Chains A and B, each alone.
Chain A
Amino acid sequence: MAEKTYLQAISDGLRTEMRRDNRVFVLGEDVGVYGGAFKVTLGFQEEFGSWRVIDAPLSETAIVAGATGAAMMGLRPVAEMQFADFVSCAWDHLVTVAAKQRWRAGTPVPIVLRLPSGGGFSGGPFHSQNPESSFAHIPGLKCVCPATPEDAKGLMISAIEDPNPVLFFEHKHLYRRIKGEVPDERYTTPIGKARVHQEGDDVSVITWGAMVYTAEEAAKLVDASVEIIDLRTVLPWDKQAVLDSVRKTSKVLVLHEDTRTGGFGGEIAATIAEEAFEDLDAPVRRVTAPDTPVPFSPVLEKAFIPQAEGVANALKELISY
C-alpha cells in the first residue's frame, strides 16, 4: 500500500497488466518516446519495447481501428486519445464496428480507450469535454469514470480484462491533484458497481468523476447529512445503489460536469422517477454545466463547471423543501 496520485494509479494498473499479460499493449499519439501527453506511459517504452508501446500517427481513426483489429486477432490493446474530445474522429470505428462486432459476429473486441477528459484548467472547447453520455447511449460499449486513485487502478485492470470495448474516462483535473492509498498488488474494481463516497441520511448526491469532490466540498457547506454516491461506471450503471440511497433519503441531487440536455443525469433522474416515485419527498434536482461549449476564460469556465457553492445552494433548497 502506497500513496499514489490518480495518474500514477492509472499508470500502475496499466503496467501491472502489461507485466502480467503479453497480449496487452498500448498505442496512441506520443505514448512511447514522449511518455504520453500527460506522462501516464512514461518509461513504458523502455520497459516493454516499442512493439508494445506504439507511437501512432496523428489519426484517432487509425488508432481505434487498429486497436479493434488487433483485439479481434486476440490481443488486448489499450489505446490513448490525447484528449477525450478527439475520440469523435474515431466514432465510426468505435460505435459502428467495435461496439457491434460481438452482437453481429460473435467476436469479442476487448479494447480499452483511455480518454483524458474534463475541464477546470482553461483547456477551452476542444480539450475540456466530458463526452461520457454520448457513449453511454451506445449498447455494446462500457464506460467507466473513476474518481479515486484506488478505483482508477482497479477499474483499469477490470477494463483490460473485460471482453467488450471499454471507454476509460480519466479526469485530467484529478491527475495530480488527488492522491490516495493504492494497494500494490493486482486487484480489480467491478464495472457497474457504485461506491458510497460518504454516507448520509438527509439528501443524496449521485455523481461521478471530479464532481465527487465538488459534492464533498458542497456537503461541508450545508447543515445536513449528505450521502454521496460515486457511480464509478455510467454504462452499465449501478441502479440498485442509487435506488437504495433514494429510498433512504427521499431527496436527490444528480450532479455532473457534462452539459445538461441529454446528459446522463437525465437518465438517472428518469429512472428514479419510474422506480422510486413513491419514495420521493422532493423533485429530483440536476446540477450540471449549461448547454454551451466549454469556455476558455477562467472566469467563464468557473461559471460553466458546477462549483461547490452552487451545489450547496441546490442542496439547501432540497433540504428545506
Chain B
Amino acid sequence: MATNTAVDVVMPQMGVSVSEGTITKWSKSVGDTIEADETLLEISTDKVDTEVPSPASGVVTEILVQEGETVEVGTVLARIGGEAPAAAPAPAAPEPATQPAAEEATAAATEGQAAPEPEPTPAPAAHAPQPAAADNGKAFVSPVVARIAAEHGIDPTQVPGTGTGGRVTKKDIVAFVEAGASPAQPPAPEPQAQSTPEPAQPVASAPAAAPAPSAAKPAAAPIPATVGSAQAGETLEPMSAMRRGIAEHMRRSLDTSAHVTSAIEVDMTRVVQIREKLKKEYQAAYGVNPTYLAFIARATIETLRDYPWVNGELRGDQIVTRNYVNLGFAVELADGKGLIVPNLKNAETLNLLGMAKGIAEIAKRARDKKLTPDDVAGGSFTITNPGGYGTFHGTPVISQPQAGILGTYAIVKRPWVITDEDGADAIAIRSMMNLTLTYDHRLVDGAYAGRFLRDLRERLQGWGETDY
C-alpha cells in the first residue's frame, strides 16, 4: 500500500549492544519508487553489515543521512511517501533542538493528509544558504576543510557555512579559526564565550582531573600517524568497519585476559569411524554433514557442565557461571577479509544432529552476511577451527568477555603407541588430533584447564556407537 502520510525510516536497533550504524549504500534515490520490504539501504555496524528493507511502499521523498555517515540508532534516515518537502531536504540532524520540529512536521502531515501546506510548521527547510548550523555538518566537507578542521581540532559542523547548501568553505573555516574558535564544542557557535574556561565544576573531582575539556585547546591536534601517502610499492585501502572492530577487539582481549594455552593430543579414530557410518544416514535423511566440529562441539558442551568456569566470565569482581552454553564458532567470511563469531544459543539442548545443523546454518548465514547482531552477541564459549588448513597448533585470542576458546586442529594419521587388553604395547596407525584450550588465567587455573582437556579427550576417544 502506498502511503499518503510520510513514513520514517530509522536506523534500526541491530542488537542490544549496538548504538550506532554507518550508511554504506543507498539503493534508492529521492524520487524513486519503492515497495515495502524492498531493500532501501545497506548499513554497517560494528557487529554486522546488513540491508534495511523499506517499511512501506511509496516514493522516497527524503534522504536525510548520506553514505558514509554514522548515526545513532533511531535517527531518521529517510522518508517514504507523503508530501515531498518544499525546498531543500530538511536538515534532520538528531539534535534534540530540531527533533520536535521534525515530529511536528510529520504529525501535521499525518493529519493534514494531502493538504498542500500544513500551515505554520517551523519548517527547518530554509532555502537560502544561511548559516544552517544544523545542516552544514551533514553536508560534504571538502578535503581542505577537513584538513584545517583536523589541524585545529575543530568540529566542522560548528562552523557557519556560506557555500552551496550551507557547505563550510575554506574561507569559512579559516575565518572561524582566525576568530579564535575553540575545538569541538557542543552547541553555541559563540567562539568568544568558550575561549574563557568556565569554572562550572571548580575542582570538583580529584586533583588528577584534567582541565575541563572546554578549556583544553589542543595545539593543532596532529593528524593520526596512520594518515599518509603510500610509499613506493605500497597500496593503501581503508579499513572496513568489520576490520576496525576485529582490530579493536583483539587488542582489547589481549589487554584484558591473561592468555594461557594448553594443548592435548586426542585419538579421534573412533569418531572417524562413527562419523563415516553416520555420514550417509545424515546426508540422506537430513541433508546435513556430521562434521568433526559437531562431534567436538557436542563433547565440549558435555565437558563444560563439569567445568563451569571455562564457560564463565569475570564481571568486575564477580565470577559469572551459567546453566547454558551459547557456543560461538569462528567463521571466516567468503571474501577472506574478515572473521565473525556467531553463536548457537542454548547449544546444550542440541544433540549431534542439531549441532551439525546449527553449525552449518549459522556458518552459511555468516558467509552470506545474513547474521543479526544478536547472533554474534552473548556467546559464553567459543570454538575456533583452523585445522582445516592442516595446522596442528595455535594460540587463539579469547572472544571477550568469555573465559576460554577451544582450538581444533588437523586430524592426521600417526603411528601411536597403544596398549591392548593384555597390557602389551603396540604401535598402531591412529587418527590423531590436537586440541588447545586458551583460557583466561585470571579465572581458570592450569590444573582446571588440564582436567577439562583430559575429560574432553576421554569423551571423544570413548565416543560410543549410540552416543549422540
Contacts and interface: CB of A to CB of B under 8 A. Distances in A.
Nearest to A283: B142
A321 B161 CA distance: 11
Contacts of B167: 321
Nearest to B142: A281
A182 to B, nearest CB: 39
A297 to B, nearest CB: 36
Interface string A278-321: 11111000000000000000000000000000000000000011
A321 B162 CA distance: 9
B144 A278 contact: yes
Given A250-B170, A281-B169, A321 B143 contact: no
B388 to A, nearest CB: 43
A278 B169 contact: no
A320 B143 contact: no
A278 B164 contact: no
A200 to B, nearest CB: 14
A277 interface: yes
Q: Which of A280, A281, A320, A321 has the most CB of B within 10 A?
A: A281
Interface in B143-169: 143-147, 163-164, 167, 169
Nearest to B150: A278
B164 A280 contact: no
A134 B146 CA distance: 37
Nearest to A251: B170
A68 B145 CA distance: 52
Nearest to B146: A278
A320 B163 CA distance: 6
A282 B145 CA distance: 10
Interface in A89-121: none
Nearest to A277: B143
A4 B163 CA distance: 45
Given A250-B170, A281-B170, A321 B163 contact: yes
Given A250-B170, A321-B169, A280 B144 contact: yes
Given A250-B170, A321-B169, A280 B163 contact: no
A278 B170 contact: no
Given A278-B144, A279-B144, A320 B164 contact: yes
A278 B163 contact: no
Contacts of B142: 250, 280-282
Interface in B118-154: 142-147
A277 B145 CA distance: 11
Contacts of B144: 250, 278-281
B147 to A, nearest CB: 4
Interface bracket on B:
10 to 19
A279 B143 contact: yes
A273 to B, nearest CB: 10
A282 B144 CA distance: 9
Contacts of A279: 143-144, 147
Nearest to A320: B164
B265 to A, nearest CB: 56
Contacts of B145: 281
Max chain A C-beta neighbours (<10 A), residue from B143, B145, B147? B143
Interface in B190-213: none
A278 to B, nearest CB: 4
Nearest to B169: A281
A321 B146 contact: no
Nearest to A246: B144
B259 to A, nearest CB: 41
Nearest to A249: B170
Contact of B147 (A278, A282, A320): A278
Nearest to A274: B229
Interface in A35-49: none
Interface in A64-108: none
A40 to B, nearest CB: 45
A321 B141 CA distance: 12
Interface string A235-254: 00000000000000010000
Contacts of A250: 142, 144, 170
Nearest to B165: A321
Contacts of B163: 320-321
B141 to A, nearest CB: 10
Nearest to B223: A278
A282 B143 CA distance: 8
A280 B143 CA distance: 6
Interface string B159-192: 0000110010110000000000000000000000
Interface string A21-62: 000000000000000000000000000000000000000000
Contacts of A320: 163-164
A299 to B, nearest CB: 33
B146 to A, nearest CB: 7
A282 B167 CA distance: 11
A51 B39 CA distance: 80
A282 B142 CA distance: 7
A277 B236 CA distance: 16
A278 B145 CA distance: 8
Nearest to B172: A281
B330 to A, nearest CB: 39
B320 to A, nearest CB: 49
A198 to B, nearest CB: 20
A310 B146 CA distance: 30
A20 to B, nearest CB: 45
A320 B164 CA distance: 6
A68 to B, nearest CB: 36
Contacts of A277: 143
B278 to A, nearest CB: 60
A278 B142 CA distance: 8
B192 to A, nearest CB: 26
B98 to A, nearest CB: 26
B235 to A, nearest CB: 15
Nearest to B227: A278
A320 B146 CA distance: 18
A278 B227 CA distance: 12
A320 B144 CA distance: 16
Nearest to B147: A278
A277 B143 CA distance: 6
Contacts of A278: 143-144, 146-147
Contacts of B164: 320-321
A12 to B, nearest CB: 44
Nearest to A317: B164
Interface of B: 142-147, 163-164, 167, 169-170
State the 4 A-B residue pairs at the shortest beta-carbon distance, nearest first: A281-B170, A278-B147, A281-B142, A281-B144
15 contacts: A250-B142, A250-B144, A278-B143, A278-B144, A278-B146, A278-B147, A279-B144, A279-B147, A280-B142, A281-B143, A281-B145, A281-B170, A282-B142, A320-B163, A320-B164
Given A278-B143, A280-B142, A281-B142, 18 more contacts: A250-B142, A250-B144, A250-B170, A277-B143, A278-B146, A279-B143, A279-B144, A279-B147, A280-B144, A281-B143, A281-B169, A281-B170, A282-B142, A320-B163, A320-B164, A321-B163, A321-B164, A321-B167
